[in-house]
């Protein structure tokens, strides 16, 4: 039931009463060990805020964050510092997230030094060499500076830094959206290989569904601070239950250009999080909205096992059961 209200959000509330921007509104979900949960939604829907709340880079207004059953929200700064060894972040902007004045070796070794995982400079350099190799970069790069690298290479450096301490959980906030399309798949594949090897979990934040199809185990779709649909990847892609997810999916290009597909165009823009519509917050743009949607907020309800949607008209979509006679021996 995690929530975050920014009391003064600067530009967001310009011209409006700064009554508070509800960036994250009572969100609950779990991420399992070695799992990738993709968190998808348009910019401004609160997904980055949610990612930062999980790592306590910002403080929640209410709710809890549990790591292995332990509530982190009461942790002091000191306690949280120790917890950061288990929880790391990969940032969206491979330009802004690496200090231009520090060498690659200094950047990647920093978490190792902070957590006392290396005893000497040489040991730190040896670890950095291993990590750079692991993310597909030559260790001979270690004394260079971020500006000497391409966007994709910088993101590899950011990944090396995040995995250096062997975390259990990584928030990756749009890790490929600043990169050329040709490089995106390489980075996603690298992230997936590392996960298979090290069994950590990702919260993989993305603004569209095409990027996460490959890497996600489950998908959560966010709209105006709330999760409107969450479920196993194949269920969400093949049987989207929420009209918003259906519209997002209709915009994903099909690999087969002949495959029939009707693009659902949503009317209007996403309303400001300073002014969330009452009832179902999607009603101002929903193609199938009815009167009830303007006044009653739909709960996130299960449509089939493990697949939830927050829509008054989400239909249960039964999982097809194989005929008994076809059961393999």
Binding residues for Mg ion, per CB under 5 A?
A: 48
Considering beta carbons, is residue 188 or 289 the nearer one to ligand SF4? 289
Site string for ligand SF4, 219-248 (x = CB under 6 A): -----------------------xx-----
| Residue 97 near residue 91, CB atoms below 8 Å | yes
With CB under 6 A, what is the number of residues at the site for ligand SF4?
A: 13
Whose Cβ is closer to ligand SF4: residue 125's or residue 312's? 312
Q: Tokens at residue 291, please? A: 């009167």
Q: Which does 203 bind (CB under 5 to 8 A by kind): ligand SF4, Mg ion, none?
A: none
Q: Do 294 and 312 meet the contact criterion of CB atoms below 8 Å apart?
A: no
Residue among 200 and 282 whose Cβ is closer to ligand SF4: 282
Q: Which does 286 bind (CB under 5 to 8 A by kind): ligand SF4, Mg ion, none?
A: ligand SF4
Q: Which two tokens stand for residue 207?
A: 């603004």
Asked if 313 is part of the footprint of ligand SF4 (rule: CB under 6 A), the reply reads yes
Q: Of 6 and 282, which has the nearer Cβ to ligand SF4?
A: 282
CB 315 → ligand SF4: shortest distance, Å? Answer: 11
Q: Which is nearer to Mg ion, 124 or 203 (CB)?
A: 203
| Residue with smaller CB distance to ligand SF4, 143 or 290 | 290
Contact partner, 289, from ligand SF4, Mg ion, none, Cβ < 5-8 Å per class = ligand SF4
Please work out, in degrees rounded to the nearest 5, the angle formed at the alpha carbon of residue 206 by the alpha carbons of 14 and 179: 100
Residue whose token pair is 């002014």: 275
- Cα of 101 vs its chain's centroid, Å: 29
Residue 243 site contact among Mg ion, ligand SF4, none (CB < 5 to 8 Å, cut-off depends on kind) = ligand SF4
Asked if residues 178 and 95 have their Cβ atoms less than 8 Å apart, the reply is yes
Give which of 238, 193, 240 is closest to 221, Cα–Cα.
240
In sequence order, which residues have a C-beta less than 8 Å from that of residue 123 and are 6 or more positions away?
A: none
- Of how many residues is the chain composed? 329
Between 94 and 298, name the residue whose CB sits nearer to Mg ion: 94
Residue 48 binding: pick among Mg ion, ligand SF4, none (C-beta 5-8 Å cut-off by kind): Mg ion
Token pair of 327 as six digits: 């059961």
The one among 14, 288, 301, 305 contacting ligand SF4 by CB under 6 A: 288
Q: Name which position in 44, 152, 273, 298 contacts ligand SF4 (CB under 6 A).
A: 298
Distances (CA, A) of 25 to 214, 224, 290: 28, 8, 23
Phi, psi of 146 (to 5 degrees): -50, -35
The Cβ of residue 165 has, within 10 Å, a number of other Cβ atoms equal to 17
**Torsion over CA of 7, 55, 36 and 69, rounded to 10 degrees?**
-110
CB of 313 to ligand SF4, least distance (A): 5
H or E element: which one contains 21?
strand 21-27
**Closer by beta carbon to Mg ion, 43 or else 123:** 43
Return the CA Rg of the chain.
Answer: 21
3-state class of 127 per DSSP?
helix
Residues in contact with ligand SF4, shown as a per-residue x/- string from 247 to 286 under the rule CB under 6 A:
---------------------------------x-xx--x
CB of residue 174 to Mg ion, shortest distance in Å: 6
Which does residue 313 touch among Mg ion, ligand SF4, none (CB within 5 to 8 A, set by kind)? ligand SF4
Q: CA–CA separation, 152 vs 59, rounded Å?
A: 31
Q: Return residues touching ligand SF4 (CB under 6 A).
A: 242-243, 280, 282-283, 286, 288-289, 293, 298, 311-313
């Amino acid at each position: 039931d995690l929530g975050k209200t920014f009391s003064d959000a600067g530009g967001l509330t310009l011209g409006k009463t700064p009554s508070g921007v509800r960036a994250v509104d009572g969100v609950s979900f779990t991420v399992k060990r070695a799992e990738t949960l993709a968190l998808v939604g348009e910019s401004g829907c609160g997904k980055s805020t949610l990612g930062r709340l999980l790592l306590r880079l910002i403080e929640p207004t209410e709710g809890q964050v549990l790591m292995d059953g332990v509530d982190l929200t009461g942790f002091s700064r000191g306690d949280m510092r120790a917890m950061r060894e288990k929880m790391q972040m990969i940032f969206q902007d491979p330009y802004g997230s690496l200090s231009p004045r520090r060498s690659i070796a200094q950047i990647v070794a920093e978490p190792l030094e902070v957590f006392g995982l290396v005893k000497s400079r040489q040991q730190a350099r040896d670890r950095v060499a291993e990590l750079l190799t692991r993310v597909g970069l030559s260790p001979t790069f270690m004394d260079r500076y971020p500006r000497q690298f391409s966007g994709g290479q910088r993101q590899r450096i950011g990944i090396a830094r995040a995995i250096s301490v062997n975390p259990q959980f990584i928030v990756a906030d749009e890790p490929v959206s600043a990169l050329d399309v040709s490089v995106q798949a390489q980075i996603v594949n690298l992230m997936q290989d590392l996960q298979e090897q090290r069994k950590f979990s990702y919260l993989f934040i993305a603004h569209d569904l095409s990027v996460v199809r490959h890497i996600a185990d489950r998908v959560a779709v966010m709209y105006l601070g709330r999760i409107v649909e969450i479920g196993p990847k194949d269920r969400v892609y093949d049987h989207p239950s929420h009209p918003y997810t259906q519209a997002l999916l209709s915009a994903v290009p099909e690999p087969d250009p002949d495959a029939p597909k009707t693009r659902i165009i949503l009317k209007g823009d996403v309303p400001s999080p300073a002014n969330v519509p009452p009832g179902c917050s999607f009603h101002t743009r929903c193609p199938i909205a009815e009167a009830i949607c303007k006044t009653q907020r739909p709960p996130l309800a299960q449509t089939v096992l493990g697949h939830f949607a927050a829509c008054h008209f989400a239909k249960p979509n039964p999982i097809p059961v194989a005929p008994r006679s076809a059961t393999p021996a």
